[in-house]
Chains A and B, each alone.
Chain A
Amino acid sequence: AQSVTQLGSHVSVSEGALVLLRCNYSSSVPPYLFWYVQYPNQGLQLLLKYTTGATLVKGINGFEAEFKKSETSFHLTKPSAHMSDAAEYFCAVSLNSGYSTLTFGKGTMLLVSP
C-alpha cells in the first residue's frame, strides 16, 4: 500500500518569497506522483506530475517539483510567491498499475501575505 505525508498543515510566506511545500511518500513500487491545487469551493487542478524520466518536473504557474527516490520525497517549490497562490495544495501518489486511484496527503494550506 502507498501513503503520502505532507509536512505542515499550514505554510505562511510573504509575497515574493520562496514557496516550499513538503511531500514524502511510501510505495512498494515505483510511484506516479502528483501535486494538485484546490481553491475554495472548487475541485482539484493538476499542477504537475512525475511518471518516469526527468526527476525535475515543471508545472503550471511557475511551480516545480523534484522526485528524489533516495529520500522518497517530491517537494513542491516556487521561487516567488504571488497572492494568487494562496490555496490548499495536495500531494498524491498512484501505483504504476494502470488504475486511476490516487492516495492523497492531508493537504497544506498556503497563506501569502503582502
Chain B
Amino acid sequence: KAGVTQTPRYLIKTRGQQVTLSCSPISGHRSVSWYQQTPGQGLQFLFEYFSETQRNKGNFPGRFSGRQFSNSRSEMNVSTLELGDSALYLCASSLVGEITEAFFGQGTRLTVV
C-alpha cells in the first residue's frame, strides 16, 4: 500500500512569507504528527492530529499551525517565515489507539532566504 506522501519535497521561501506543507497519511491511519528536523536541534515534535483535532502540541511559537481534514490528510502552515525555520519537516502517520509504529514520509525541505 502507498506510504506517507508529503508535498512538495522542496521549497524555497523568502523571510516574512508564509508556507503550507501537505501530508497524506497511509490509508486507514487517522493520526498524523509533524516534526521539524534541523542540524542544531535535531528532531522536534510540532503537533499531532487525530480526527481533525489537535491532540498534542510541542513547544513552538504560534506561527506554526496545522489542521487535519476529514480524510485524515493534514497540512501545516508557517507564517512570517524566519531564517531559522529552514528545516526538514517530517510527517508521520499511525494507527489509532496505541503506539505501534509511526510511518514517516520523505519530508519537505524548506529553505528560507
Contacts and interface: CB of A to CB of B under 8 A. Distances in A.
Interface in B91-113: 92, 94, 97-107, 109
A107 B38 CA distance: 11
Contacts of B4: 43
Given A98-B99, A100-B31, A43 B45 contact: no
Interface of A: 32, 34, 36, 41-46, 49, 51, 90, 94, 96, 98-107
Interface of B: 4, 6, 31, 33, 35, 42-45, 48, 55-56, 90, 92, 94, 97-107, 109
Given A43-B4, A100-B92, A51 B42 contact: no
Given A101-B48, A104-B42, 9 more contacts: A43-B90, A49-B100, A96-B99, A98-B99, A100-B99, A102-B45, A102-B102, A106-B42, A107-B43
Contacts of A51: 99-100
A5 to B, nearest CB: 12
B45 A103 contact: yes
Contacts of B100: 49, 51
Contacts of A44: 90, 92, 104
B110 to A, nearest CB: 13
In this complex, which of B48, B97, B104 has the most chain A Cβ atoms within 10 angstroms of its Cβ?
A: B104
A8 to B, nearest CB: 14
A105 B42 contact: yes
